Structure formats: C-alpha cells, structure tokens
C-alpha cells in the first residue's frame, strides 16, 4: 500500500460491480473500489448463478490472498486458496478448512445479483 492511502473493509450498498456474465463459472475476480480517500479490496466467487463476495484479506496475516490477478481458487475451483501460506477456504462460507488459520473465516463482502448485475449489498 502506498503511504497515505487508507484501506477500508466495507463498501456502500448499491455499487454496480459487473454483469454476472463477466464472471467465469466457476471462477473468481478481484475488485478495488475507491471510497472517498480510501480503498477497498475484495473479490467475487461465482458458482452457477450464486455469487459470494469476500474482503481480500487472509485471516492468518492480513495479506491479500492472491499473488496473481484473480488467482483465488484452487486448480479444481473447489476452494479459495491463499497463495502466501496455503490456507484453504470453503467457497460458500469462507471457513478455513486447512492451513495456518484453520477454523477462522474470510470476512464476507455483501453482494447481490439484480437483473444480471452484481452489486454491493
């Protein structure tokens, strides 16, 4: 993070992020939103018609999960993976099922799909 840049962990409701069709199924995509003078880092995970959002911050050491853009999922797309220390999280609830933060969970980022558009909730 650049000096003087504040990071926030919530977003206002109603911000259009992308169309549902813009998300790979199954897949994940990174989003950075500027909120006043601060920045929010999150990612969306799509499985079928269901989209879940998470704050891009591993509970183990607070680092972003992906070192490669949009590289949040394991090769079989069944789990979310932290590329730094190997923590593995369930897609549907963000619970860590393996690695250094087992039992902890990712912070949910409330999102909704309305008329084919993914929005913050």
d(CA 80, CA 75): 10
Give the strands of the sheet with 79-81, arranged side by side: 79-81, 88-90, 96-98
Summarize pLDDT for 35-83 with one digit per residue, the tens. 999 999 999 999 999 999 999 999 999 999 999 999 999 999 999 999 9
Summarize pLDDT for 18-29 with one digit per residue, the tens. 999 999 999 999
Average pLDDT over residues 7-16: 96
Quote the tokens at residue 49: 């018609």
Which domains can be identified in the chain, with CATH numbers? Answer: 15-120 (2.102.10.10)
């Amino acid at each position: 993070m650049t000096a003087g840049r504040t990071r926030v962990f919530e977003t206002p409701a109603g911000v259009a992020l992308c169309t549902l069709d813009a998300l790979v199924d199954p897949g994940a995509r990174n989003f950075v939103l500027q909120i006043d003078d601060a920045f929010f880092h999150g990612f969306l995970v799509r499985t079928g018609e269901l989209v879940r959002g998470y704050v891009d911050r591993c509970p183990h050491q607070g680092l972003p999960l992906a070192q490669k853009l949009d590289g949040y999922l394991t090769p079989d797309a069944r789990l979310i993976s932290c590329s730094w220390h190997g923590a593995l999280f369930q897609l549907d609830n963000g619970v860590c099922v393996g690695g250094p933060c087992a039992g902890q969970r990712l912070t949910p980022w409330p999102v909704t799909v309305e008329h084919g558009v993914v929005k913050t909730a």
